[in-house]
Chains A and B, each alone.
Chain A
Amino acid sequence: MKIWILLAIRVFVYRIFFRPFLSIIVGIKFPKASLFPEKQFILVCNHNSHLDTVSLLCSIPIKRLLDVHPAAAADYFAKNKLMAFLCEVFLNTVFVRRKGEAGSKPIDDLDQHIKSGKSLILFPEGTRGLPEELASFKNGVAILLQRNPSILIIPIFMKGMGKAMPKGDAIIVPMECEIHVGEPLIDPNAAAKPVTEVTEEIRKAILKLSGKKDE
């Protein structure tokens, strides 16, 4: 599909349709677009709701709508060709085959995407959890950071989404939500550290944004 058609579709979907709906009816407060750096980045976020990905795509600067890709589980979002096509057109997803599937190398796939210049949205909790509770993180982001030391890791904490539209419920109930965008995480020594330590650093950065002390 031509690039400008894709951009037009996404500007319409996110800026003209979803963003006013999410901010006026649901009550999501969007962060300033200037908080997102212009360089290649990975947005590392907590995950409580289907609203998460959509509201992040509404937050990023318009010109980034083509090169920021949420990573989605292939077994859930690419069940059939139509669904996969719609996800790619509207959500700009890259698909990840989760562990346990034949021939799955999720980290290598994501690494390839980063090497080709794409920015990613990752949810290291792996799946949607209970509202305002940060589950343990998978090590994927840390491994990606070790392999690509120059990439910016941007911690993001979203509050309220899991109450506006929790897992297992298709109805949206208005609830004020906040999106906290943190400073890019810089750790030049990441490659020398154990993976779990880097993961913990990233998790701490998100926990700090949530304002909660470590549990």
Chain B
Amino acid sequence: MNLQSITSFAEFLSPPVINVMGIMLGLLFVITLSFWIARALKGEGKLINELLTRTYSWWYILIGFCVTIFFSRLLATVAIAFLSFVAFRELTSRLDLRLADRRALLWCYLAIPFQFMTAYIAWYGMFLIFIPVIMFIGLNMVNVASGNTKGITTSMGVIHWSAMLTIFSLSHLAYMLSLPELANFEAGNGGIILWLVLITALNDVFQFTWGKTLGRTKIMPTVSPNKTLEGFLGGLVTTTFLGYLLHFLLPVGPMKAAILAGFLSFTGFMGDVTISAVKRDLGIKDMGSSIPGHGGIMDRIDSLAFNSMVCFHLVRYWSYLE
């Protein structure tokens, strides 16, 4: 089967996307193989087993991502909607909400299909205001109507915040696929989403790696004791460079791609420490246990939640408005 016949039934599998995807799968294969070799040489150990569990989870994440996102826009929208549903459920399950908040939560769940429908049909105005404006007013109404005022201020804040962090933010990923097709942009809309997810994930990896190897100065000791200034700056530089290298996946020039990647390195870090701070407040180590070796969904998508909004709006501003 040649490339042309694959791309004919897959909406977002353009040649640049396939190439980058191939490199990703190849890299993960090499990493898995080297861990296997390390285990065969040194024998079983706690560290190697943990690394392997994480790597196996990466295989599931990567294959799930490739299979759901790039073949059909409808499938991709439904898959991202489901991801945000699970993330919202995980987050609100940890927050120790009141029984009186159940109605407000129910309305948030009902809002998920509507929000992703606006992304699917590219109803931009409604997409932008539905959760920040309409749900903001509606949730307060539902909360007040419960008649139970004890702890209502916290609930009003926390439920809407959860909806913004999981439903609103991830729906931007779905909208990326619904942006109008640009002339002379070979990678297509699948390229944008691939670039974003890759840059976000690699930024996490490089901030971690630089922090482990060079880290000296703690950057936020009370929130996340493992985060260092060296890790943050190392990640920033590496991610900016990678964003520049992979600019062909975006409908913007190499310089703008580099700037955007640098931006995402910063906002990804912000998303990461935001969830860390919440976990610290709640006194838990992980948000859940649904991904072996990684914790919960929110532990994995914390940086993506912020980055999807930033990336969507900057790319849209640069390429689709001017």
Contacts and interface: CB of A to CB of B under 8 A. Distances in A.
Classify chain A's interface size: 10 to 19
A169 B102 contact: yes
Question: Chain B contact residues: over half helix, strand or loop, or mixed?
Answer: helix
A174 B99 contact: no
Contacts, number: 31
A171 B289 CA distance: 26
B93 A176 contact: yes
Contacts of A140: none
Contacts of B89: 27, 174-176
A131 B93 contact: no
Contacts of B99: 131, 163, 166
A62 interface: no
Nearest to B97: A163
A160 interface: yes
A176 B298 CA distance: 14
Question: Chain A contact residues: over half helix, strand or loop, or mixed?
Answer: loop
Contact of B109 (A29, A163, A169, A173): A173
B53 interface: no
B41 to A, nearest CB: 33
A173 B99 CA distance: 11
Given A131-B99, A163-B99, A166-B99, A175 B92 contact: yes
Interface string B69-107: 000000000000000011001101100010100100110
**Which residue of B86, B99, B288 has the most chain A CB atoms within 10 A of its CB atom?**
B99
Interface of A: 27, 29, 131, 160, 163, 166, 169, 171, 173-176
Given A166-B102, A173-B106, A176-B288, 9 more contacts: A27-B93, A29-B289, A131-B99, A163-B97, A163-B102, A166-B99, A169-B102, A174-B105, A176-B90
Sorted nearest first, the 10 A-B pairs with minimum C-beta distance are A176-B93, A173-B102, A174-B89, A173-B106, A173-B105, A27-B89, A175-B93, A166-B99, A176-B89, A176-B90
